[in-house]
Amino acid sequence: MDLVARINALLWTWIQSMRSVKRISLFFPFLLFAVLQVGLLLLLIFFYLPPISSLLIPLIRLLSQESALHYPQFYFYLPGLFSKINVWLNLLASWLFVGAATLMFAGKYRGRPVRTSRALGQAFRRIIPLFAVGMVEWVVIRAVMQLFGYLTTSAGQWATQSPRLFLLVGFFINIVFIVPFAYTAAEVMLGKRSIGGALRGSFALARRNYGLTYLLFAVPSLLTLAMNLIFQYAPVIVTRTSPGVMVLLMIINIVVTVVVNFAIVGSLTAFYLRAAEQG
Amino acid sequence: MMTNRAFAWLLMGLVLVMSCAQDEGIGERYRAEQLYYQASSQYRTLQIDPGEFDAERSRQVRTAFRRIIEEFPTSDFHQVPGDGADVRSELLTITGMSRLNMADLFFREGRIDSAISVYRQVVAEYQDLESIGLRAQYSLALIYQSSGRWPEAVSAFDTLLENYPPFRETPQQPDETVLNIPGYVAAAYLSRGDSAKAEEYFQKARTYLDDITTRWPETPTAQMAQNQIVNTHIRQQRWSAAVTALERLAAMLPIGDDPPDALFMMAALCSDRLGDLDRAMDIYEDMLRRYPDSDKLSQAILAMGQLSFQRGDLDRARQFFSRVIEEYPRESEAGATAQYALALSYEFEGDWDKALNEFRWVVDNYPGSREAFAAPNHILEHYRQYGEEQLAQTAYQQALRIYEDIVAKNPDTPRALQGQWHIAQSHILMTSWEQAAEALEQLVQEYPRSQQVLPALISLGDIYEQHLKKADRALGVYQMILQVAPNSPYAEMAGQQIDRLQKTVP
């Protein structure tokens, strides 16, 4: 594909994704995951209430600092804590909802809509390959981010001195390694491929269209990057306003994540189908 | 199958963590902190804007603090040390602070007896939490004092000194509040006019403080106690004893890069209060030898110049002033003072041309300094004193130009305020009373919240009364002072002027 064709393909996939916004049912898988995230947020906010306190207090101590167990300091650490636990929630549950959403988007693009319950059922039947490819991606990304963190701290103090730059660089590097796994869910759900086949298929398609796939991820994700930048000012926000504002921002972040995931999964599915049609 | 097993492991892990974990009161502490944060936010609003204070709002805030005390009864936390002892102590601090705030709110509402009752309760219940008990005991003493129950206040202060140490956790962390009390009580007797009791309590204070310096020598607590001993002598105007105490204090302080303030104070007391210029000079010379690299030496050299000036040794004085200017170019405050003093030394000698040159140098090189503001009017005053009216007229125009320029270039700043004040002073020096009144009126109008307003109003009243013969306007100005600052010394002056005016004006 030449550059003009690539730009055309990019615009086409975004248009397809945007057209899907009108079909509310396509949001359901993402909203279900958002409900889980809100549940996690509520658990964290009420960590001090028994009986969950006996589990969450040691967990907060483990993932953060002793001062996170004080009010209102807890809210300074809340975004970081949520993000650390959300990583595990992503590993354990997100694949199911992404698999279902991929199926529903494909149904919409093909003119044969799929109901949420049926899509979730089918995703559940493909549980092992979905979970496995999700696990591989999760491990690779975690390893890369750990390495990035290690290299930046060994290279100097800039990671701690320029946290915003660290976040920005980390964001773009993260996507570099996510891109090869971009089509694994589509390969499993639509291509009915095995674990190895899904990984190989996704790598091959991503390699042929690396820049385009990168943009399909990066552009919508800029919204979450903006939210993460806001969360870096958590202590200032809590001190100048109230801890409640932080909760509101976190809920806004969850809603933003729904929109971002919708845009990414919608456009990736559209591109996958287009590539499949073109052989 | 594999996934089910993973979930089973995860579940088992969770159960294990839950069974091993102990809350240790952290949940309770968090809840208490949450309630305290909310109550304190309401309390802060009352504190920040006293205009907003009313009994109903105060009652609401008190209810918020009371809720904390009711939800977390003190008796539950006074337990033997062990698991969660720190958390319990933090919970006690929260409930203690809540009670103290409640007492303060009672006091603000004018319910003195309720406030006293709460403070007493805190003192009794928080004996094992010194920070809270001490604050309650101190507030109790202050509340007795402010409600005119002085003997009970003294007794409360005495109880505090008996029951609480003069430091927080170790003698490395002195408690300024406690150390200040003995001198404070003695000074209060002095201001009440009871000099016999004042003398007795100053002696008691020194005995108490001296004991601290002996019991915890070479600690910050001992140093602060010695500092308080100095203060007791100064309050009694026992200058010689103050110098001796300062000498001891200077010896107690660790040797650093800069000379301690105690030495500067010692030298100042020697020269200003005891008239012992030689000893003051010796102290400064000793500083030059012991701290050759300190930037604070500019202050010492400046003071040496001023001492030489006082002695009439103008050449030596000028040498010191020049040293300050040349050797400490970054110390602009000292530089400005030295430059101004240099000018004064020439004026004193009768060499006006050189003096004028130095005054102009101050204006050009130390803009914004107190001396740069003073110089133009000083030049004007000089010409007026010597009856050189033409030169005075030129200096007057020049001064006005300088001050007006400052006002125009720095609107709504302290500099502009100073400029406006000096414009008025220029007019006063030239006996241009209408313009002086106008300038002062402008100052009052444009900087109504500045400290300069009250002296400006006094000056304005005087101009209206004495020079412009507008007694009614003067009366209005004095009455304004009573309205703006009824408890200030200016109000007392204004009151006297009003009485006088009302007697003389029909």
pLDDT tens digit sequence for A184-228: 999 999 999 999 999 999 999 999 999 999 999 999 999 999 998
Question: Is A49 within 8 Å of chain B by CB?
Answer: yes
Q: Is the pLDDT of residue B5 over 80?
A: no
| Band of residue B73 on the pLDDT scale cut at 50, 70, 90 | confident
Which long-range contacts link B296-299 to residues 24+ away (Cβ below 8 Å)?
B296/B258, B296/B259, B297/B259, B297/B328, B298/B324, B298/B327, B298/B328, B298/B331, B298/B334, B298/B335, B299/B264, B299/B334
B7-39 pLDDT, tens digit each: 556 665 655 555 555 567 899 999 999 999 999
Question: Is A151 within 8 Å of chain B by CB?
Answer: no
More confident residue, B312 or A161: B312
Question: Is B23 within 8 Å of chain A by CB?
Answer: yes
Question: Is B91 within 8 Å of chain A by CB?
Answer: no
Amino acid letter for position B216: W
Contact list in B for residue A47 (CB cut-off 8 A) is 27, 30
Chain B nearest-CA distance from A116, in A, is: 23
Q: What is the domain count for chain B?
A: 3
Among B164, B194, B219, the domain-final residue is B164
Would the CB atoms of B23 and A58 count as touching at under 8 Å? no
Percent of chain A with pLDDT over 70: 96
> How is residue A155 written in tokens?
């290279």
| B215 in the same domain as B155 | no
Q: Does residue B477 belong to any structural domain of this protein?
A: no
Question: Is A127 within 8 Å of chain B by CB?
Answer: yes
Yes or no: say if B232 and B180 are a contact pair by the CB < 8 Å rule.
no
| B323 in the same domain as B288 | yes
Q: Does residue B275 belong to any structural domain of this protein?
A: yes
Q: Name the residue in chain A with its Cα closest to that of B31.
A: A48
| Band of residue A120 on the pLDDT scale cut at 50, 70, 90 | very high
Q: Does residue B178 belong to any structural domain of this protein?
A: yes
| Band of residue A133 on the pLDDT scale cut at 50, 70, 90 | very high
Beta-bridge mates of residue A68: none
| B158 in the same domain as B132 | yes
Going B126 to B132 to B134 to B137, the CA torsion angle's sign is negative
Q: Does residue A27 belong to any structural domain of this protein?
A: no
Contact list in B for residue A54 (CB cut-off 8 A) is 18, 21-23
Return mean pLDDT, chain A.
91
pLDDT of amino acid A158: 61
Provide the 10 A C-beta neighbour count for residue A219: 15
Segments forming the whole domain that contains residue B266: 255-359
Q: Is the pLDDT of residue B3 over 60?
A: no
pLDDT of amino acid B1: 41
Chain A nearest-CA distance from B23, in A, is: 6
Provide the 10 A C-beta neighbour count for residue B417: 21
> Which residue among A53, A72, A128 sits closest to B23, beta carbon to beta carbon?
A53
Span B419-441, mean pLDDT? 96
> Which residue among A53, A127, A131 sits closest to B27, beta carbon to beta carbon?
A53
Would the CB atoms of A50 and B33 count as touching at under 8 Å? no
| B171 in the same domain as B221 | yes
| B121 in the same domain as B153 | yes
pLDDT of amino acid B310: 94
Best of A44, A47, A53 to disrupt the B interface by mutation (most B CBs within 10 Å)?
A53
Span A36-57, mean pLDDT? 94
Helix, strand or coil for residue B174? strand
Q: Does residue B402 belong to any structural domain of this protein?
A: no
pLDDT of amino acid A7: 87
Would the CB atoms of B30 and A70 count as touching at under 8 Å? yes
Percent of chain A with pLDDT over 90: 67
Yes or no: say if B66 and B128 are a contact pair by the CB < 8 Å rule.
no
Q: Does residue A253 belong to any structural domain of this protein?
A: yes
Amino acid letter for position A31: L
Lowest-pLDDT choice from A2-16, A115-129, B91-105, B262-276: A2-16
Question: Is B31 within 8 Å of chain A by CB?
Answer: yes
pLDDT of amino acid B288: 94
| ipTM confidence | 0.82
Q: Does residue B100 belong to any structural domain of this protein?
A: yes
Task: Respond yes or no on whether the N-terminal peptide bond of residue B260 is cis (omega within 30° of 0).
Answer: no
H or E stretch covering B246: helix B239-252
Amino acid letter for position A240: R
Q: Give the Cα separation of B342 and B336 in Å (integer).
A: 10
DSSP codes joined into one string, A65-107: -GGGGSTTHHHHHHHHHHHHHHHHHIIIIIHHHHHHHHHHHHH
> How is residue A110 written in tokens?
């093909």
Would the CB atoms of B30 and A51 count as touching at under 8 Å? no
More confident residue, A147 or B114: B114
Q: Give the Cα separation of A54 and A70 in Å (integer).
A: 16
Percent of chain B with pLDDT over 70: 92
| Band of residue B503 on the pLDDT scale cut at 50, 70, 90 | confident
Q: Give the length of chain B.
A: 506
Chain A nearest-CA distance from B62, in A, is: 20
Closest listed residue to residue B420, CA positions, set B436, B434, B432, B433:
B436
Chain B nearest-CA distance from A105, in A, is: 27
pLDDT of amino acid A16: 85
Q: Does residue A2 belong to any structural domain of this protein?
A: no
pLDDT of amino acid B10: 66
pLDDT of amino acid B473: 93
Which long-range contacts link B163-169 to residues 24+ away (Cβ below 8 Å)?
B163/B133, B163/B137, B164/B130, B164/B133, B164/B134, B164/B137, B165/B130, B166/B212, B166/B221, B166/B224, B166/B225, B167/B216, B167/B219, B167/B221, B168/B130, B168/B131
Q: Report how far apart, in Å, the C-alpha atoms of A105 and of each of A128, A188, B179, B455 are.
A: 21, 14, 76, 80
Q: Does residue B99 belong to any structural domain of this protein?
A: yes
B322-344 pLDDT, tens digit each: 999 999 999 999 999 999 999 99
Contact list in A for residue B26 (CB cut-off 8 A) is 48, 53, 57, 69
Would the CB atoms of A55 and B26 count as touching at under 8 Å? no
Question: Is B27 within 8 Å of chain A by CB?
Answer: yes
Would the CB atoms of A50 and B23 count as touching at under 8 Å? yes
Would the CB atoms of B21 and A127 count as touching at under 8 Å? no
Chain B nearest-CA distance from A56, in A, is: 9
Question: Is A89 within 8 Å of chain B by CB?
Answer: no
| Band of residue A148 on the pLDDT scale cut at 50, 70, 90 | confident
pLDDT of amino acid B457: 95
Q: Does residue A37 belong to any structural domain of this protein?
A: no
pLDDT of amino acid B151: 95
Q: Residues 6 or more apart from B206 whose CB is under 8 A from it? A: B229, B232
Would the CB atoms of A53 and B2 count as touching at under 8 Å? no
Contact list in A for residue B37 (CB cut-off 8 A) is 71-72
Closest listed residue to residue B264, CA positions, set B245, B284, B279:
B284
Provide the 10 A C-beta neighbour count for residue B5: 9
Q: Does residue A55 belong to any structural domain of this protein?
A: no
Q: Give the Cα separation of A56 and A40 in Å (integer).
A: 11
pLDDT of amino acid B2: 44
pTM over 0.90: no
| B300 in the same domain as B277 | yes
| B50 in the same domain as B123 | yes
Would the CB atoms of B26 and A69 count as touching at under 8 Å? yes
Q: Give the Cα separation of B428 and B217 in Å (integer).
A: 57
Question: Is A125 within 8 Å of chain B by CB?
Answer: no
Give the number of A-B residue pairs with CB atoms closer than 8 Å.
49
Q: Does residue A250 belong to any structural domain of this protein?
A: yes
Q: Is the pLDDT of residue A160 over 80?
A: no
A163-194 pLDDT, tens digit each: 778 888 888 998 999 999 999 999 999 999 99
Q: Name the residue in chain A with its Cα closest to that of B13.
A: A55
Span A42-67, mean pLDDT? 93
Q: Does residue B354 belong to any structural domain of this protein?
A: yes
Q: Is the pLDDT of residue B99 over 90?
A: yes
Q: What is the domain count for chain A?
A: 1
**Reduced 3-state DSSP string for B90-125:** HHHHHHHHHHHHHHHHHHHCCCHHHHHHHHHHHHHH
Segments forming the whole domain that contains residue A75: 70-277
Please identify among residues 8-37 of chain A the ones whose CB lies closer than 8 Å to any CB of chain B: none
Q: Report how far apart, in Å, the C-alpha atoms of A117 and of each of A32, A53, A96, A216, B3 are.
A: 11, 34, 12, 27, 21
Question: Is A61 within 8 Å of chain B by CB?
Answer: no
Would the CB atoms of A55 and B22 count as touching at under 8 Å? no
Q: Does residue A169 belong to any structural domain of this protein?
A: yes
Q: Give the Cα separation of B381 and B344 in Å (integer).
A: 13
Among B238, B267, B286, the domain-final residue is B238
Return mean pLDDT, chain B.
91
Span B241-261, mean pLDDT? 93
| B105 in the same domain as B72 | yes
| Band of residue A45 on the pLDDT scale cut at 50, 70, 90 | very high
| B37 in the same domain as B143 | yes
Yes or no: say if B302 and B287 are a contact pair by the CB < 8 Å rule.
no
Q: Does residue A48 belong to any structural domain of this protein?
A: no
Chain A nearest-CA distance from B10, in A, is: 11
> Which residue among A55, A70, A127 sits closest to B18, beta carbon to beta carbon?
A55
More confident residue, B55 or A77: A77
A7-39 pLDDT, tens digit each: 888 888 888 888 888 889 999 999 999 999 999
Q: Does residue B4 belong to any structural domain of this protein?
A: no
Please identify among residues 37-76 of chain B the ones whose CB lies closer than 8 Å to any CB of chain A: 37, 41
Question: Is B278 within 8 Å of chain A by CB?
Answer: no
Task: Respond yes or no on whether the N-terminal peptide bond of residue B73 is cis (omega within 30° of 0).
Answer: no
Question: Is A131 within 8 Å of chain B by CB?
Answer: yes
pLDDT of amino acid A156: 62
Among B331, B359, B387, the domain-final residue is B359
